[in-house]
Chain A
Amino acid sequence: MTMGQKAFQINAADNVATALSEVAPGEITITGEGLKDKITAAEVIPQGHKIAVRDIKQGEPIIKYGVPIGTATADIHNGAWVHLHCMRSNYDERSSHLDIYTGVPLDQEY
């Protein structure tokens, strides 16, 4: 079904796209209606995770579906993996305290 690695961008205003399979560093095609850009993935992006499709400055909103889904906590370069290590929720503080690879909460004592 797929030729080469792809990420899906749902809204033309978005600054991130979603990897449709695990992405290796290198060229990646951005799909979505009317979108056929190619960018270069800077690092491994897990399936279903987000890749920046342009440079995003610290403090800027992360835009997906054409709406803010959080705020960048660091400068993010075009092609970089976008997840909890470089963005946070504007509502749910707890999600900033999860392990970025496993999602395991690190703020709960046992």
Chain B
Amino acid sequence: MDLSQYKWQGYARTDGRKGIRNKVLVVYTVECAAFVAKEIARQANNKDVDVIGFSGCTDNAYAIRLLVSLIKHPNVGAVLAVGLGCEYVQPQRLADAGADAGKPSDWLYIQNEGGTAKAIEKGLGVVLNMLTELKKTPRVEMGFCDLVIGAECGGSDYTSGLAGNTVVGAFYDKLVDTGGTAVFEEIVEAVGLIDLLQKRAANDKAREELTQTYNKAMDYCKSVRQYSISPGNFVGGLSTIEEKSMGAFIKSGTKPIDGVLQVSEAPTRKGLWLLDSTPDPHWMQFGITNPNDNEGLMDLIGCGAQVVFLVTGRGNVVGSAVAPVIKITGNHETFMNMNDDMDFDASAVLYGSKRLEECADELAAYVAGVCGGGESRAERLGHKEYFIPYKYQNIKRCGDD
């Protein structure tokens, strides 16, 4: 099925990107400001108000880039930055980033406002005004060609590599063919796949980026003496890291890989991209690649993904701030057992009752529904997790020193 038939109304942003949500994003700059920020969002009592923040307070470049990329994200219509008043991370600079992207933006210091209650009162007023303002955001027709979609897996079991990720891979092939953009991650789960990665490179530059990224991830695995596979994986039937890796990699589909993104970097053109979330080598001791699933989802959203997939076998419940999470499982029992949380059952491909192609088309229809304003399971339940850690990763391209 041709995905270009799907069209829905999105939100026009001044940078040319299109959003599928129109959120007010409340951003705190340090843990000391987190309560006030969360209370502003709670009292606004509107599903379009999300909170993210950084525990701070030292202004880690990686975390700042991620915050700014989320502020500029196409699903975000307006920004309120909330600081305490003595931290390194500057709420005014964050609000400036929002204003640069043409969004109503404001900021406050709790110390200047006179404490918790007054800061909440002021912030709430700002957010309520922004919600009114956002009703005027111009609507624009959009389709799959305007989307960036990210995918990662978590809580994997034997079905993830056989059904969940294969359906995502088949869908990604269609997305790329339609002129959309697909991002996949988990390079530490590409062990043994260097030949395959190189063969999939769209051009020489992409091949060099993929090779460097693979080698960095391998160095990481060797230096921490840990591959991304656990006793539970072995009990579940995965015998080697190569087997788990291929099960994860298969979600990238079969199209050429256009290059490698660092966290917070938007793709420079449409196509298929690998997201590298591994810390840089000289800082490796200060960062863990993917401490949890929400960190991985946040990284994908930071690259501009308007919607993200979480493929799970054993089941996961999380959603995310900024972008809807669609949870896909290849395990029919998990789908039934955690039905309120699971968006999509991909298990039919295992039993031969549906073809891969058919499942990919059904997934496309579901994604189009969510993009058109339908709630994902996590949105319906109110999940809005986020995770922005300290990490050290320079944005550099091949050829740079």
Contact = CB atoms under 8 A, between A and B. Distances in A.
A71 to B, nearest CB: 9
Interface in A59-108: 62, 64-65, 67-70, 82-84, 87-92, 94-95, 98, 100-105
How many chain B residues sit at the interface, stated as a range, is 35 or more
A81 B198 CA distance: 32
B188 to A, nearest CB: 12
B246 A102 contact: no
Interface string A37-57: 000000000111110000000
A67 B229 contact: no
Contacts of A12: none
Given A33-B355, A103-B235, A18 B227 contact: no
Interface residues of A, number: 41
Contacts of B234: 83-84, 95, 98, 100, 103
A109 to B, nearest CB: 15
Nearest to B195: A67
B174 to A, nearest CB: 17
Interface of A: 1-2, 6, 8, 10, 18-20, 31-33, 46-50, 62, 64-65, 67-70, 82-84, 87-92, 94-95, 98, 100-105
A90 B237 CA distance: 17
B236 A48 contact: yes
B270 interface: no
A98 B3 CA distance: 46
A94 B230 CA distance: 11
B231 A98 contact: yes
Contacts of B43: none
A95 B241 contact: yes
Nearest to B355: A33
Specify the main secondary structure of chain B where it touches its partner: helix
B159 to A, nearest CB: 8
Contacts of B237: 18-19, 46-50, 83
Interface of B: 157-159, 161-162, 166, 191-193, 196, 225, 227, 229-243, 246-247, 250, 332, 350-353, 355-356
B219 to A, nearest CB: 13
A94 B193 CA distance: 19
A70 B351 contact: no
A95 B351 contact: no
B231 A68 contact: no
Contact of B233 (A6, A103, A105): A103
A105 B231 contact: yes
Contact of A8 (B231, B232, B240, B350): B350
Nearest to A7: B350
B39 to A, nearest CB: 44
B240 A70 contact: yes
Nearest to B352: A31
Nearest to B351: A1
